[in-house]
Amino acid sequence: MRALGPGSVSSFLKIILDVVYVTLWVGVGAVTLLVVAALLFSFNPDLLDDASLASSQLAKLGPAMTGVLLAADLYMAGVLVIVGLLRRIFTTLTAGDPFHPDNVRRLRLIGGILAALELGRYAFWAIGAWLLVGVSKGQPSIALNTWFSVLVVFVLAEVFREGARLRREAELTI
C-alpha cells in the first residue's frame, strides 16, 4: 500500500482527520454554549425555577464551573487548530507533494500549540491551586511524552524545511 497520493494511507488518514475535525467543531460549539449557560446561571440563579438548594449551590460553584468549562473549551479549540493544520498537511501528502513549503510553517505552528496547551495545563493547575484554597490537590505532573512530542514535531519541521529546499534546488537543475 502506498504512503502518498490518491488512494494511499495518507488519503485514508485525511478522511479520519476530516471526521475528527467536524466532531471537534461540534464539541467546541457545545462547550461554548455550556460556558454561556454557566455564566448566565451563575450570575442569575433565579433563572432556575427551583429556588432550593440547587440554585444556591449553583451560585457558589458557578464561577469555578465556568472556569473549568472555559479551560476545556480553549483546550479543545487548540486541538481543533492542530487537527486543521494536520488536515492541510495530509492534503499535500495526498496530492503527492510532501515537501510543500507551507508544511514547515504548519508543523512549527503545531509544535507551538502543543507546547502552549501543555503550559496552559500547568497554568490551569496553578490558578486552581491558588483559587481553591483548602481543596486537596497534588502537584502537576510534567508530561515528558508531551515535551518529547513537541521536540519531535519541531525536528520534523526542520526535516520538511530541508526537503523543500532540496526540492527547490532540484527544480532549478536541468
Q: How far apart (Å, rounded) are the C-alpha atoms in residues 88 and 90?
A: 5
- Does residue 7 come out as left (phi exceeding 0), alpha (psi in the -120 to 50 range) or beta? left
Per-domain residue ranges for the chain?
Answer: 1-96, 99-174
pLDDT over threshold 70, residue 115: yes
Q: What are the Cα distances from residue 127, in Å, to 67, 77, 132?
A: 10, 20, 8
Q: What is the pLDDT of residue 108?
A: 96
Instruction: Establish how many alpha carbons lie within 13 A of residue 12's alpha carbon, considering only the half-sphere containing its beta carbon.
Output: 6
Q: Per-residue pLDDT averaged across 61-90, rounded? A: 90
Could you read off the pLDDT of 3-30 as tens digits, one per residue?
777 877 888 999 999 999 999 999 999 9
Q: What is the pLDDT of residue 30?
A: 95
Choice among 66-75, 128-137, 152-161 with the minimum mean pLDDT: 128-137
- Does residue 80 come out as left (phi exceeding 0), alpha (psi in the -120 to 50 range) or beta? alpha
Q: Per-residue pLDDT averaged across 37-63, rounded? A: 65
